Structure 1
């Protein structure tokens, strides 16, 4: 292989592929990035066997070929280079790279030993705007479980009907549900599948601030999905298992509803959580109408220290006390951003609901923490 390309293009392609490089050492080749000429382009690929990322860049090709080389060394070298032409020459299993006065030789593994990245040529095709997909991922995936005791809870449930979709994630203590619109109507009556939340997080990283649309092809029978984001393709396995009926977990009514400016509430909750982080991490909320002054009283404590704050609110219903995991509350408030939020409660021992007042397409349910009041 003998090729030339621009450092800036190669650096961007490597950064994208690096999202799929394995951090485990049980299969060393998955810690490599594959460089291979294909259709007059340089194809850059990586896989950890759960996901795979492939992208292509324009290249001057004198001799076709391919090799996989250690991702960490390759990225370190390429990112240190000036934005100039990069020349790569492969001799046996040694890849020589030259750019100006910089040069390196990297020992690689033959391309034949690199795990093939599956393709998804047929399946149900979805088209969604990049901004809508960003919103859905940002509002949902953080609520998925991170432990594998119930693998299906480490995934995001996706439901599609007509031109609408729903993302849902839950870890047994909280639930996030986001409803959005597709760019076009699907050909089937309905479609349901679960995809690992880690895969959705990597899609979010690849999206960045890109505009346009994302093509999303899924084959539930083969447990495969493919995202096309500009010149980048990301493959993912689907998650097996039956996701819980999350609609049964959403309270149908409330006894108390407090509407608060999120900018004020988030600052108070973050501080209260900081006080309790070394202990239980609990944040207490007292929703009260004190002689015509409606406030949400936020508190957190640790040994020898207590934090209290009052946040102005509009309150509907009875006074209420409820406590939540501080981390859970901070994460959902951060996801909601700059808006007015509503906190809805039934009792101190029943799930609470957090939602944006102006976002009817999103609901977040959090189990309470049991404390002495």
Structure 2
């Protein structure tokens, strides 16, 4: 195998493929990247759960394939000068030259590298990378890390008509984003659950551009294609929360507020809360005013935020991080908070009735001393 390639392009491809490499595995090949030089140069990382394959523009003189340790290969390429990298191998001995630098390292047999699973096509959709990236990032924080309910360690992708809804839930909060899609093939309505770990990588692979990203649902896997990069992940099976029934929508109290002002108030009061000093936020909704306070072993804090609407003096407690995460993720300058009682969830929506996002945060019971 012999090829030459620009250092920056090769470094970027190694970085992308490495995201799916096992840091430690009983199969040594899984700690490496599979390089395949045929009509194009392909780099693949695979940890038996998620696989990432990316194509790099390269001048290929001799075809071939082998596996190289991801960490060492990445470190070598990263520290090379900005020049053309010349890569050649014979009998698993690899020679890497760039400028005045030269390395000789050992690769391993590509036959030991497991094949990426085939995605048996069922349905697919297309939308801009920018849109997909924001939808994932604005729901991923609510994915559960509790392995006792594996289905909730992923996000639900639900396609109906020309719209995609992504839902994440962890038992304490729910995050939902809805957007129109550009293109759809297959059934009129379909849904599947993608592991959170895979979505975290998809978010990094997507760019802030209008170019299309495609999502293909297979019988057991799901494939994301973004530019020259493809990610394959095993779908999660099971019964996802019936989220429509879980979200209360006939709430009598509706409060509107500036998202940044609400975040700033919560942030200030949260300064005295830490992992060691946990305490809920006590929120009191009065007429056109939200009072936020908390008390921990090191002291107490209070803040006020101007809002529109009358909460009738409703007092409700929240985990500061859960409330903050939802408001930070909300892609709107102003939000509407819908409430009912001190023990009912708070629903956060855009104040313009577009309903392209919805966050639900469960309250925390307040003790007399909080």
Q: Give yes or no for TM over 0.5.
A: yes
TM-aligned CA deviation for residue 338 of structure 1? 5.5
TM-aligned CA deviation for residue 281 of structure 1? 4.4
* Counterpart in the other structure of 2:296: 302
User: Aligned in 2, Cα 1:23/1:273: closer, same or farther, shift over 3 Å?
Assistant: farther
| Cα distance in 2 between the residues matched to 1:271 and 1:117 | 48
TM-aligned CA deviation for residue 272 of structure 1? 2.4
TM-aligned CA deviation for residue 311 of structure 1? 0.7
Q: Determine whether 1:313 maps to 2:310.
A: no
* Counterpart in the other structure of 1:362: 357
User: Aligned in 2, Cα 1:195/1:75: closer, same or farther, shift over 3 Å?
Assistant: same
Query: Scaled by the length of structure 1, what TM-score is found?
Result: 0.93
| Cα distance in 2 between the residues matched to 1:88 and 1:43 | 14
Residues 170-215 of structure 1 show CA distances to partners (whole Å, capped at 9, x for unaligned) of 1111111222111024331311211112211211110032331111
| Cα distance in 2 between the residues matched to 1:167 and 1:193 | 10
Q: Determine whether 1:339 maps to 2:333.
A: yes
TM-aligned CA deviation for residue 16 of structure 1? 1.2
TM-aligned CA deviation for residue 27 of structure 1? 2.9
| Cα distance in 2 between the residues matched to 1:313 and 1:146 | 34
Residues 143-180 of structure 1 show CA distances to partners (whole Å, capped at 9, x for unaligned) of 11012111001011111122112111111111112221
TM-aligned CA deviation for residue 317 of structure 1? 4.6
Q: Determine whether 1:280 maps to 2:278.
A: yes
Q: How many equivalent residue pairs?
A: 366
* Counterpart in the other structure of 1:241: 238
TM-aligned CA deviation for residue 63 of structure 1? 1.7
Residues 306-360 of structure 1 show CA distances to partners (whole Å, capped at 9, x for unaligned) of 1111111111452211111111111111111551122221111111112232342
Query: Scaled by the length of structure 2, what TM-score is found?
Result: 0.94
* Counterpart in the other structure of 2:254: 257
Native 8 Å contact 1:130 1:212 kept in 2: yes
Task: Select 1:270's aligned residue among 267, 286, 291.
Answer: 267
User: Aligned in 2, Cα 1:317/1:275: closer, same or farther, shift over 3 Å?
Assistant: closer
Task: Name whichever of 171-180 and 332-341 sits farther off.
Answer: 332-341
| Cα distance in 2 between the residues matched to 1:106 and 1:281 | 54
> What secondary structure is seen at the aligned counterpart in 2 of 1:323?
strand
* Counterpart in the other structure of 1:38: 38
* Counterpart in the other structure of 1:372: 367
| Cα distance in 1 between the residues matched to 2:81 and 2:336 | 51
| Cα distance in 2 between the residues matched to 1:210 and 1:114 | 33
| Cα distance in 1 between the residues matched to 2:367 and 2:310 | 24
* Counterpart in the other structure of 1:8: 8
TM-aligned CA deviation for residue 38 of structure 1? 2.2
Native 8 Å contact 1:256 1:346 kept in 2: yes
User: Aligned in 2, Cα 1:72/1:59: closer, same or farther, shift over 3 Å?
Assistant: same
> What secondary structure is seen at the aligned counterpart in 2 of 1:123?
strand
Native 8 Å contact 1:324 1:368 kept in 2: yes
